Amino acid sequence: MTAHGADCSVCGDETFAFWTLSSYRETQVQGKITLEEILTADDEAVYNIVSHAPGPQGRLALTEEQLTNAPSGHIFGMSQSVGMGWDPAKLGGEQFLLLSTQGGVRAGNGKPVALGYHSGHWELGLLMRAAAEEFQSLGCIPFAGFCSDPCDGRTQGTPGMMDSLAYRNDAATIFRRLIRSLPTRKGVLGIATCDKGLPAMMMTLAAMHDLPSVVVPGGVTLAPTAGEDLGTVQSIGARFAQGEVTLQYAQEMTCRACASAGGGCQFLGTAATSQVVAEALGMSLPHTALAPSGQAVWLDAARRSARALVRLNQRGIVAGDIVNGAALHNAMVVYAAFGGSTNLLLHIPAIAYAAGLTRPTIKDWDAINRKVPRLVDVLPNGPVGHPTVRVFLAGGVPEVMLHLCQLGLLQTGALTVSGEKLAGLLDWWEKSERRKRLRDLLYRQDGIDPDEVIMSPAKAQQRGLTSTITLPRGNLAPQGSVVKSTAIDPSLLGADGVYRMVGTARVFLTERAAVEAIKKGAARLRLAAPRRVQPGQVIVLICAGPMGSGMEEVLQVTGALKALCWGKDVAVITDGRFSGVSTGPCIGHVAPEALAGGPVGKVLDGDIIEIVIDCKSLHGSVDLIGDADAPAEKRSIEFGNRLLAKRKPRPDLAPRPDLPTDTHLWSALQDIGGGTWGGCVFDVEKIVRTLDAGKNALSRR
Residues assigned a catalytic role:
579
477 strand-pairing partners: 474
d(CA 253, CA 471): 36
d(CA 637, CA 397): 42
Strand residue runs (E) in 272-421:
none
572: helix, coil or strand? strand
Strand residue runs (E) in 576-616:
586-591, 608-614
Strand order in the sheet with 480-482: 480-482, 586-591, 571-574, 537-541, 498-508, 608-614, 620-626
d(CA 393, CA 443): 9
Burial pattern 19-46, b for ≥16 Cβ within 10 A else e, equals eeeeeeeeeeeeeeeeeeeeeeeeeeee
- Number of helices and strands (H, E) in the chain? 27, 13
465, 456 contact by CB (below 8 A): no
d(CA 191, CA 115): 19
Q: Which amino acid is at 229?
A: D
Of the candidates 232, 224, 141, 225, which has an alpha carbon nearest to the alpha carbon of residue 182?
141
User: Residues 6 or more apart from 637 whose CB is under 8 A from it?
Assistant: 474, 475, 610, 623, 625
Of the candidates 479, 457, 442, which has an alpha carbon nearest to the alpha carbon of residue 361?
479
Strand residue runs (E) in 202-281:
213-217
For 352, the enclosing helix (H) or strand (E) is helix 344-354
> For residue 577, how many other CB atoms are within 10 A of its CB?
28
